Amino acid sequence: MQGQNTWSYHPYRPFLTDVGDIYICRVAPGKNNIRFAWLGEDVTYSVYYRKRHDSDFTLWGETCAHFCELDGLCTDTDYEFFVASGQKKSRVRLARCAETVGTVVNYLHPDDQAYAFSGRYLCSPSLVRHPDGFLLASMDLFAGDHPQNLTLIFRSDDDGQSWHYLSELMPCFWGKLFIHKGELFMLAVSTEYGDLLIGKSTDGGKTFSAPVCLLRGSNGKNGNSGVHKNPQNLIYHNGRLYGTLEWGTWHNQVYGHAAMVMSCDENDDLLRPESWHFTEPVPFDHFVPELQNLPKNAMTIEGTPVISPDGKLLDVMRFGKFHTALVYEVDTANPDAPLRFSRLMPFPANYSKFMIKRDERTGYHYTVATRIYSQELPSARNLLSLMRSRDLHAWEVVTDLIDYRDRDSALFGFQYADFEIEGEDIIFLCRTATGGARSYHDTNYSTFHRIKSFRELSK
């Protein structure tokens, strides 16, 4: 057995772990059907299924394809299924037929143990348009007290109407796919609060080079601080490439998470650690009187980099004060200088990760974010809205995109949207909890959405 010098797998198979002889690589249930795909050879496959906990499996049929769609199923019902060929057999997988939203990129039943070596829920949606025209979507596998170190990558060749499995990255968590000078990169951490990693793919995401460590972290246990980040924009400003991150952990009772920015010259080699500069982490402080009642470890995470209307580079952060985002300013003259507190920004979507992007055509800043609609339910994530701002101060709701306010906010969630402005439309990938999710937070879907003619909606 030889050592490996790559980051990508097809698929990743942990030692002494039953992942099946045949690997089911994608599951996408609908209201009355379950579509799934697997990796294999050009042989005949037998597909079996049953309602969960029934005594016997039923033979659906045989196929030479590498996918199957079970239809005519009962809604709001769990099913088990597997694929066999000769002596080879896949794991038994689980899916629930239920209504969903958008286009399903991938699904994981909360009781399905297929990825339990990393996690049990789908998180960290990342979306990018490759220069060759296709779309790539990634998501990681998370769960409390799990390693949280596997990321799955899918591809669409028809602008998001359908998706297929491409590859997996290990270790990779909280990752963001991005394009720099026509090349595809992944920026991630090795695990929660782990090392900050970057790698590159030259074949459209099928394979990635061995990751390069840019910053050492920890594992976040026992209050040990490390790298915290999210699938967030990387933006260019005055010849440099900037990204946001934090240093800390939820268990750190002193300062929680301290804000940072990373940057490099846009012409430098992104795979050389020496190319990158990191600002000194800045713990939250009571910068203004209205913050005096907040604890020192108040939530300051998942900052989004934004260029203000007056040309300043800002880090706008998810923050633990109702309807308020915390804004830092980046010292662009000194890549090592700590961030400076700028102001508080009224923002009705600050209790979960958000992304802000400027529409170059109109000058408005847009976000696709989980809007807070009730002071009694500040953590509810069952309303996803498109909002815009002219001045990065006053925000207006353009339209509500997914409105499940009539559903149980403990079980439904639409969050962490990673979006792109493309011509007349906005496309986004969403961390989605619906149709039998364990909770609004522990999501079972990764879904793709398109907002057509988004500028017209504001009229």
Helices (H) and strands (E) in the chain, counts: 1, 34
- Give CA–CA dist 195/212, Å, rounded: 10
SS3 448: strand
Tokens of 357: 């992007």
**Burial degree of 308 (CB within 10 A; 0-12, 13-18, 19+):** middle
Question: Could you give the strand order of the β-sheet that contains 135-142, starting from the edge strand earlier in sequence?
Answer: 8-9, 164-169, 151-156, 135-142, 121-129
pLDDT of residue 396: 97
- Give CA–CA dist 138/127, Å, rounded: 7
Domains, the chain, in order of start with CATH, read 8-97 (2.60.40.10), 106-457 (2.120.10.10)
pLDDT tens track of the chain, all 459 residues?
788 888 999 999 999 888 899 999 999 999 999 999 999 999 999 999 999 999 999 999 999 999 999 999 999 999 999 999 999 999 999 999 999 999 999 999 999 999 999 999 999 999 999 999 999 999 999 999 999 999 999 999 999 999 999 999 999 999 999 999 999 999 999 999 999 999 999 999 999 999 999 999 987 777 789 999 999 999 999 999 999 999 999 988 899 999 999 999 999 999 999 999 999 999 999 999 999 999 999 999 999 999 999 999 999 999 999 999 999 999 999 999 999 999 999 999 999 999 999 999 999 999 999 999 999 999 999 999 999 999 999 999 999 999 999 999 999 999 999 999 999 999 999 999 999 999 999 999 999 999 999 999 976
- Give CA–CA dist 111/114, Å, rounded: 9
pLDDT of residue 135: 98
Location of structure tokens 């925000």: 395
pLDDT of residue 322: 95
Per the CB < 8 A criterion, the answer to whether 420 and 129 are in contact is yes
- Give CA–CA dist 47/294, Å, rounded: 56
- Give CA–CA dist 317/113, Å, rounded: 34
pLDDT of residue 5: 81
Q: How far apart are the first and last CA of the chain?
A: 62
- DSSP track, 230-289: -S---EEETTEEEEEEEEE-TT-TTTSEEEEEEEEETTS-TT-GGG-EEPPPB-----SG
Tokens of 325: 């985002």
Which residues does 234 contact at the CB level (< 8 Å), separation at least 6? 176, 178, 180, 187, 241, 242, 243, 305
How many CB atoms within 10 Å of residue 292? Answer: 8
**Burial degree of 24 (CB within 10 A; 0-12, 13-18, 19+):** buried
pTM reported for the whole predicted model: 0.97
Tell me which residue of 46, 129, 106 sits closest to 81, measured CA to CA. 46
**Burial degree of 9 (CB within 10 A; 0-12, 13-18, 19+):** middle
pLDDT of residue 219: 78
- Give CA–CA dist 108/91, Å, rounded: 14
